[in-house]
Structure 1
Amino acid sequence: MSATTTTRVALITGGSGGIGRAVAERLAQDGLAVAVQYAGNKARAEETVAAITAAGGRALAVGGDVADEQAMSAAFDAVEAAFGGIDVVVNTAGIMVLGPVATFDLDALDRMHRTNIRGTFVVSQQAARRVRPGGAIVNFSTSVVRTQLPSYAAYVASKAAVEGMTLTLARELRGRDITVNAVAPGPTATPLFLDGKDEATIATLAKATPFERLGTPEDIAEVVSFLAGPARWTNGQVLYANGGLA
């Protein structure tokens, strides 16, 4: 059999930076061929691909809006054409806008929900149709669903929706030998998390876990690697990857 039919293949949305890039690089290290999806930053996606290729892996970049079903259908087509199929889909693409409910900008709410809810749903829909037996779908929530910090209500609402669709999809794929789980990171040192926070706030959040540090993208990628590979008996779950945050 050719390499295109024997190598496991992963598609990572939002794979050009932050957690997404760490996940792409980790899955490539695990031996998967990797497709790095990007929305607007083609150059960063190609940097991720170049880094994976330089390390001996196989990768390509695919563009498109995760909330656009035609764009995502085309992206999945491109990955299947290049690598022969898809085994793992990881939805790291997301945006975060913070603010209290009383004054929250509803246009920002709509933008965030379009990417975080509709985008995850569109990609999960394609994954449910195409992922091969033995595969895995990994969506992204947040530990703030449980910690309920002020100013996170709109973001948490979008991620709670992701948890709901993830757990339901796991049951819908009965008999397909496909796991569906969500990862809920705690405070993690990414541009998405750090943007707009002062040093005192970051220091306080870093001290919140027993490890007294922020998580790293690589910490989260390790959990995704587990779910994408050996974790065949972990299904329909939300894994809180947060270093022991209460």
Structure 2
Amino acid sequence: MTEHTLMGKNLLVAGGAKNLGGLIARQAAEAGANVAIHYNSEPSRADAEATLAAVQHAGGTGVVLQGDLTVPANVARLFADAEAALGTIDVAVNTVGKVLRKPIVETTEDEYDEMFDVNAKAAYFFLREAGTRLADGGRIITIVTSLLGAFTDGYSTYAGGKSPVEHFTRAAAKEFAGRGISVTAVAPGPMDTPFFYGQETPERVEFHKSQAMGGRLTRIEDIAPIVRFLATEGWWITGQTIFANGGYTTR
């Protein structure tokens, strides 16, 4: 990517069916991009198809691709299938994640393994494939969490599972710099999506709201433009974690 625009570029959005990933895919298409929309499993298929329709309505070429990204072979296949449909990928965005709020003493080994597989392992091999396959001058952006800067209870496996992505991002930024590929992570505050409400009590929701500007949660509309900026004019930012949370927390 020599020019700082999404016009005519090819994007791959992991977790692109709905919520933040869906908005990123739609806005990219509105900016002139073609988009490969990944979803994990059958319950998300209808959302992925709706996002595809929006991409096509905006004038972009789109494709819907399914896969469990905790399996590295599936990540490789995802990139290969995206390339086959669109051509060389210019921007790879990974919004995949799983939230669990549970005390350490109640967390099972299976829960631990699943949380680290989804939040860390999938992210690692997404970076690996992107670093192998992206066009020179490409952009890689991973969604993490502002809990990386919080001192709180309950989210040991979520924040813990996302925290390695910061180290993966820094290493990848150095390793891919010779090809002009920037690598960044974006850390939203608690987001106003179904993933958040399923883990919290109404009282805790109100507390989270009280910690940010305007007394509200982070919205997907707050984050998607930051991803777009990092993929275009913000390309010189690399190896960083951008906390975007309305003042919810910092380090």
TM-score band w.r.t. shorter chain? over 0.9
- How far does the alpha carbon of each residue in 1:26-75 deviate from its partner, in whole angstroms, 9 at most, with x for none? 22222211111011022221111112212333221111111222222222
Q: How far apart are the structure 2 equivalents of 1:31 and 1:153?
A: 40
Match of 1:184 in 2: 187
Match of 2:123 in 1: 120
Following TM superposition, where does structure 1 have runs of at least 4 consecutive aligned residues deviating by more than 6 angstroms?
none
Indicate if the aligned counterparts of 2:32 and 2:59 stay in contact, CA closer than 8 A.
no
Indicate if the aligned counterparts of 1:135 and 1:177 stay in contact, CA closer than 8 A.
yes
- 1:156: how far off? 0.9
Indicate if the aligned counterparts of 1:23 and 1:218 stay in contact, CA closer than 8 A.
no
Letter in 1 for 2:26: E
Q: How far apart are the structure 2 equivalents of 1:196 and 1:160?
A: 19
Indicate if the aligned counterparts of 2:101 and 2:199 stay in contact, CA closer than 8 A.
no
Match of 1:28 in 2: 29
When normalised by structure 1's length, the TM-score is: 0.94
Indicate if the aligned counterparts of 1:93 and 1:115 stay in contact, CA closer than 8 A.
yes
Q: How does 1:1-246 map to 2 (within 5 A)?
A: 7-40=8-41, 41-246=44-249
Greater mean deviation of Cα atoms: 201-210 or 171-180: 201-210
Match of 2:3 in 1: none
Letter in 1 for 2:40: A
Contiguous gaps of at least 5 residues in structure 2: 1-6
Indicate if the aligned counterparts of 2:36 and 2:86 stay in contact, CA closer than 8 A.
no
Indicate if the aligned counterparts of 2:100 and 2:199 stay in contact, CA closer than 8 A.
no
Q: How far apart are the structure 2 equivalents of 1:53 and 1:198?
A: 39
- How far does the alpha carbon of each residue in 1:224-246 deviate from its partner, in whole angstroms, 9 at most, with x for none? 00111111211110000101113
Indicate if the aligned counterparts of 2:61 and 2:86 stay in contact, CA closer than 8 A.
no
Q: How far apart are the structure 1 equivalents of 2:176 and 2:209?
A: 38
- How far does the alpha carbon of each residue in 1:4-32 deviate from its partner, in whole angstroms, 9 at most, with x for none? xx821110111112211111112222221
Q: How far apart are the structure 1 equivalents of 2:211 and 2:61?
A: 38
Q: Percent identity?
A: 34
Q: How far apart are the structure 2 equivalents of 1:215 and 1:131?
A: 30
Letter in 2 for 1:23: I
- 1:87: how far off? 0.6
Indicate if the aligned counterparts of 1:140 and 1:162 stay in contact, CA closer than 8 A.
no
Q: What is the number of equivalent residue pairs in this alignment? A: 241
SS of structure 1 residue aligned to 2:35: strand
Letter in 2 for 1:113: F
Q: How far apart are the structure 1 equivalents of 2:77 and 2:206?
A: 43
Q: How far apart are the structure 2 equivalents of 1:161 and 1:9?
A: 27
SS of structure 1 residue aligned to 2:64: strand
Q: How far apart are the structure 2 equivalents of 1:79 and 1:163?
A: 26
Letter in 1 for 2:17: S
Q: How far apart are the structure 2 equivalents of 1:103 and 1:174?
A: 42
- 1:151: how far off? 0.3
Q: How far apart are the structure 1 equivalents of 2:60 and 2:244?
A: 26
SS of structure 1 residue aligned to 2:228: helix
Greater mean deviation of Cα atoms: 81-90 or 51-60: 51-60
Indicate if the aligned counterparts of 2:169 and 2:239 stay in contact, CA closer than 8 A.
yes
Indicate if the aligned counterparts of 1:67 and 1:115 stay in contact, CA closer than 8 A.
yes
Q: How far apart are the structure 1 equivalents of 2:155 and 2:188?
A: 14
Letter in 2 for 1:7: G
Match of 2:4 in 1: none
Contiguous gaps of at least 5 residues in structure 1: 1-5
SS of structure 2 residue aligned to 1:149: coil
Q: How far apart are the structure 2 equivalents of 1:176 and 1:211?
A: 41
When normalised by structure 2's length, the TM-score is: 0.92
